[in-house]
Amino acid sequence: MRKRHEQSVTTPSEARELFDRMADEFRAARDAGDLALAKRVRSGMGPLYALRLSPRDREAVTGLMREFKQWVRDQEPRTPADASLRALGALIQDLGTRRATLTTAELESRLAGADRLRRGLSVPLPDAQKKALRRWRGNLRHRQREESRSAGPRSDEKATGAASDRGAEAPRLDREAVVALVDRIRPLLQDEPLLSALVAGADLSPHGLYRHIRFSHGRERVPDASLEIHWRMEVLELFQLWRHR
């Protein structure tokens, strides 16, 4: 029936009248939560909007067409990966918006949150988001270095230095202190190759525990046939990343 009405439209005023009736049908389907009907109605409105409306009418209803399109898009089923990617996108956008007022502690906390979201992804992170997070981690490392320089050596560091000057051996960190350092450093390196890739087997192949370590850190699984090539690329990238650090 609607197709016959569309074919009978001969003037811009008739096209606008039909468009308005279809818009009312869409609103009724939206209010009833009938996504399938709403999609069909909007699909029919598209050609009418693009080909039959006058330029003035088309400009007047452009916002309405966008509103209907967004509603349909919002109702589409989302996977957990979609939700995580949207959350990551919002987090990165917030970092950019608050760049001037963001404290180092806040930046560190948000990047740790980004790492938690990434671990929940079952799909690769888009390159744009990966590069943005890498830049922010570089920003965090720069901030931490600058703050460390401005703070100066702590009293315990001075004592350790004095002991070294006297020829005494500096005390080693206990296990609890080492674990605390690891927990702090790990989020800064989450999107970089694992440092454990540098530990090779006796025949200069990936160490037997390399796959297990990747799995433990939530990294994407690499097929057996591609593991050694992937490992060699990881080692090469590590050398390039750490060359000037």
Task: Report the pLDDT value the prediction gives residue 59, as an integer from 0 to 100.
Answer: 93
In this structure, of 55-59, 95-99, 163-167, 229-233, the range with the lowest mean pLDDT score is 163-167
Phi, psi (rounded to 5 degrees) for 200: -105, 165
Q: Would you state the structure tokens that stand for residue 92, as one six-digit string?
A: 């990165």
In tens, the pLDDT along 173-202 reads 566 665 566 566 655 557 677 777 777 766
Indicate the pTM of the whole model: 0.36
**Higher-scoring residue by pLDDT: 102, 152:** 102
In tens, the pLDDT along 13-71 reads 999 999 999 999 999 999 888 888 999 999 999 998 988 899 999 999 999 999 999 99
Does the pLDDT value for residue 140 go beyond 80? Answer: yes
